[in-house]
Amino acid sequence: MSSSTATIHEEKSPAPNEKIEHNTVIHAPVEKVWEALIDIDNWDWNKWFRIEVGEVANGVKGKLKVSSEGNDEWDTYDLTFGNMNDPASYTLHWTGSVGIKGCLFHGNHIMKLEVIKSEDGCSSFTQLHHSEEFDGILPHLNLGFHYDVLDKNYLLVNEALKELVEE
């Protein structure tokens, strides 16, 4: 008798120091979710990060404030808004770097909304794709941030936004 062995290939998610990604279905129209997301001056619902900037537009520089514990103790980092030219894309995008051309750290943060039609086609929901990819020496050595805490906090941000707009 011959026996065969099957090889199982599991697709492993990247480690949090490489990429964080969370997808959340929000039971609200995309316009309502976008209005709350883009209103960065009123992010009281978001205990984990805030953005200080004059306007949300492509190439605009500002400050990202991060509270790892959600306790109003903030660390501040520079950010630059990425591709914000197409408002219909419902994408909030920023980057941050440390060192020459981000050699120590580079983060590419995206919060993108997508319309999901209900099965009957009469209503729609919103899918929030929230991700950040990391590059540079510090993330490769798992240094610079507590990436597992960031991973948890990004999911908490999604849940807080969901709770806000579903009220």
Q: Is 139 a member of any domain?
A: yes
Residue type, 57: A
pLDDT in tens, 28-87: 999 999 999 999 999 999 999 999 998 889 999 999 999 999 999 999 999 999 987 677
76 occurs within a structural domain: no
Classify each residue of 50-62 as buried b or exposed e, where b means 16 or more C-beta atoms within 10 Å of its C-beta: bbebeebeeeeeb
Tokens of 139: 């993330």
Looking at residue 118, which CATH number applies to its domain?
3.30.530.20
Output the six-digit token pair for 89. Answer: 């894309």
Q: Considering the domain boundaries, does residue 28 fall inside one?
A: yes
pLDDT averaged over every residue in the chain = 90
Q: Which residues, other chains included, contact 46 with Cβ-Cβ below 8 Å and sequence gap of 6+?
A: 157, 160, 161
pLDDT of the residue at 8: 45
d(CA 167, CA 78): 33
Which domain range does residue 152 map to? 19-45+87-166
Domain count for the chain, please give it: 1
pLDDT at residue 121, rounded to an integer = 78
